[in-house]
Structure 1
Amino acid sequence: MNALPKPLWVIVGLGLIALVIHLLAPILMPFLLAAVLAYMGDPLADRLEARGMGRTWAVVTVFATLSLGGVLILLVTLPLLIEQLQLLMERLYDGLRWVQSTGLPKLREYLDLPEQTQPMASAREAISEHWASAGGILFYLWNKVSGSSLALIAWLANMTLVPVVTFYLLRDWDVLMMAIRNLLPRSIEIRTVLIAKECDEILGAFARGQLLVMLALAVVYTVGLWIVGLDLALLLGLAAGLASIVPYLGVIVGIGAAGTAAFFQFDGLWPLAGVAAVFGFGQLLESMLLTPLLVGDKIGLHPVMVIFAILAGGQLFGFVGILLALPFAAVIKVMINHLHEYYKQSGFYGAVPASAEERELGD
């Protein structure tokens, strides 16, 4: 019986990995989140370890610092976000009222349409009358989504697993990487380690650098919208900053949402110009300072590749796929670069003198 060629073994292995990820997707989320957090915290632990601190104490220091910072940010921002969400509901109601009282009459007048026989007030009254039943429907849907109390307990248990798994992965990260390296076949170990280092450079630049860019943009957008006087500055600034993980999406989301909020809150066009100036300044700051300084030019992931990877990962594997999308995109990019280099050095690509007939056909 003939053995399978090496490329087929690689294809079979990748297929099995994809199948395992698909089957274990419901329980993989806490472990993947923990792996991402451990990967991002490992350089900090390595720096403390290089200064003479033991690995365990270095991990405890990093873990405690990051956890304390996260809790403090949550305690400060959560009440403000709840207040902003309540204000958002009020603004939506004001927008609905403006559409009914001003927007639709002007539109009917401009288009020379007949008067509306059933105004939007009737729709709002119908919603108000059936609010209790609508609440019952929402409660029913929530029960269906949550499944049962056991499902809720399982979800809480998964969230509890994240810090525990993060701590142990962070403590044994270098040991795990060395164990994986020792398992590699000796014939491909050097090339595989080289590819892994290139992937690490791209992932490190994106994961750590882009996170800092997102946070910086969230602060810039929030402060700028606050200076403009927008009531929803915190909520919209954070949303635009987080959306910046996809190139240009933060600006599109921010200008659309903040412009709409400013239109209903203020009278006149100057606040809209202020909103545009805030996001224009943020875009210039990102392209000219933040991205070159924090991310650099090592990432090499084209914006279209980033968008496609995130959408494809979400479509194929859901939230787990979104977490794995960019790492896989980085690995694929590095592999394509190496395949391109191998192709350029292969005899198939090599310059072979053409015959006279082939030169005539080429001309």
Structure 2
Amino acid sequence: MTTLDPGPGPELKPRLPDRRAWPLLLALALGGVLIYLLRPILMPFLTGALLAYLADPLADRLERLRLNRTFAVIVVFTGLSLVGVGALLLLLPMLGSQLDSLRSLLPQVVDWVHQVGLPWLRTHAGVGIESLDLATLRGAIAEHWQSTSSFAASVVAQATSSGLALAGLLANLALIPVVTFYLLRDWDVLIARIRDLLPRRMEPIISTLAGECNEVVAAFLRGQLLVMLALGVIYAFGLWLLGLDLALLVGMLAGIASIVPYLGFIVGIGSAALATVFQFSDWLMPLGLVCGVFLVGQLLESLLLTPLLVGDRIGLHPVAVIFAVLAGGQLFGFSGILLALPIAAIIMVLLRHAHDRYLRSSLYGEPRVGGEQQDSEY
């Protein structure tokens, strides 16, 4: 039985990368270099863009009520400005008094460590820290932790000593509301123009990815910021009801630290317990009530705040959050901190799609039958 020789098949040539993509990649690389070089002046623009992004849904809602876009932006901008200024006027005096209380508390903490903490460690754990010069530490605290009024005066004196630096600081602060207003007014127009500039062949996939990135970033920024604010208010109000002198300071610290899951609870309950022990002579009952405040706050966060305000759309690991903030601050300073978490969320979405494509590729293994796509769980 003879077999037919099929002969040589069609020659398979390796697929070369599309050369039309190189100009786009080059433009992205040059844009990244330009942003890095201009990082000293980016702070007001990035802050304004972030505020405009956060406030855009409010302006869109007012537009759906048949308000003109400019008038809707004026209403949103005025309301947010009044809330911000009112919060500063209300909180700054309270924070000043609590910082003075903290200044008077720190030497007591150092004395307790010297008289009680170190002897207990030496007796029960056999650990001695003779090299720790607590007297010098106490003197440094007394010297550098001045009252808030003198501290503010020294900051103003240092700022006014350089007229150019003061002018630059005031210009940056004045630019933030201006940039925020104009970006908020033209936000939808800018997004539409960017979409029109995309290559038509790539526009559908880029729009899909951009929509997912927007969902994740919005959930994290708007949702997580609201969770942090709510937790700060809950902790501060609960500690204030208990009569803790540093209630507002500890509550704000715990709320800010809540950007990393469970870190706000750990930092808050630790600092509140320390402040309670040194404020109350009979501290056992107040300490139990402080723990109750933070347990209530943690339950509200897990059962109500996070599911309602954030949902399960973020997926950023706590270690990734910490690394993103530190890396952004190291590379770009305060501007990098503003951009760190949005960029980390966008990278997470892109990596998720790259992971799915890799699982469906021949590089990973045999292609799935029928090209079925299964979402990976993270």
What band does the TM-score fall into relative to the shorter chain?
0.7 to 0.9
Assess, with a 3 A threshold, how the Cα gap between structure 1 residues 66 and 193 changes in structure 2: closer, same or farther: same
- Could you tell me which of 55, 75, 80 is aligned with 1:41? 55
* Letter of the 2:339 counterpart: L
Report the Cα distance in structure 1 between the residues aligned to 2:314 and 2:363, rounded to whole angstroms.
30
1:202-217 residue pairs with structure 2 within 5 A? 202-217=216-231
Match of residue 304 from structure 1: 319
User: What fraction of aligned residue pairs are identical, expressed as a percent?
Assistant: 56
Q: Is 1:226 matched up with 2:240? A: yes
Assess, with a 3 A threshold, how the Cα gap between structure 1 residues 123 and 34 changes in structure 2: closer, same or farther: closer
Report the Cα distance in structure 2 between the residues aligned to 1:344 and 1:219, rounded to whole angstroms.
45
Q: Is 1:337 matched up with 2:360? A: no
Match of residue 59 from structure 1: 73
1:228-307 residue pairs with structure 2 within 5 A? 228-266=242-280, 267-307=282-322
Tell me the secondary structure at the aligned position of residue 165 of structure 1: helix
- Whose helix proportion is higher, 1 or 2? 1
Q: CA offset at residue 103 of structure 1?
A: 4.2
TM-score normalised to structure 1 length: 0.84
1:77-88 residue pairs with structure 2 within 5 A? 77-88=91-102
Report the Cα distance in structure 1 between the residues aligned to 2:123 and 2:366, rounded to whole angstroms.
72
Q: Is 1:199 matched up with 2:213? A: yes
Tell me the secondary structure at the aligned position of residue 238 of structure 2: helix
Report the Cα distance in structure 1 between the residues aligned to 2:139 and 2:63, rounded to whole angstroms.
65
Report the Cα distance in structure 2 between the residues aligned to 1:67 and 1:198, rounded to whole angstroms.
30
Match of residue 324 from structure 1: 339
Q: Is 1:184 matched up with 2:182? A: no
Match of residue 39 from structure 2: 25
Report the Cα distance in structure 2 between the residues aligned to 1:119 and 1:349, rounded to whole angstroms.
59
Between 99-108 and 17-26, the greater mean CA deviation after superposition: 99-108
Match of residue 64 from structure 2: 50
Q: CA offset at residue 350 of structure 1?
A: 5.5
Q: CA offset at residue 263 of structure 1?
A: 1.7
Alignment check: 8 A CA contact 1:100 1:119 kept: no
Aligned residues: 346
Report the Cα distance in structure 1 between the residues aligned to 2:132 and 2:352, rounded to whole angstroms.
62
Q: CA RMSD in A?
A: 3.4
Alignment check: 8 A CA contact 2:227 2:305 kept: yes
Report the Cα distance in structure 2 between the residues aligned to 1:139 and 1:76, rounded to whole angstroms.
23
Alignment check: 8 A CA contact 2:98 2:246 kept: yes
Assess, with a 3 A threshold, how the Cα gap between structure 1 residues 14 and 226 changes in structure 2: closer, same or farther: same
* Letter of the 1:198 counterpart: E
Assess, with a 3 A threshold, how the Cα gap between structure 1 residues 191 and 124 changes in structure 2: closer, same or farther: closer
Assess, with a 3 A threshold, how the Cα gap between structure 1 residues 127 and 32 changes in structure 2: closer, same or farther: closer
TM-score normalised to structure 2 length: 0.81
Match of residue 360 from structure 1: none
Q: CA offset at residue 176 of structure 1?
A: 0.7
* Letter of the 1:313 counterpart: G
Q: CA offset at residue 75 of structure 1?
A: 1.1
Report the Cα distance in structure 2 between the residues aligned to 1:113 and 1:300, rounded to whole angstroms.
42
Assess, with a 3 A threshold, how the Cα gap between structure 1 residues 263 and 17 changes in structure 2: closer, same or farther: farther
Q: CA offset at residue 89 of structure 1?
A: 0.5
1:114-125 residue pairs with structure 2 within 5 A? none
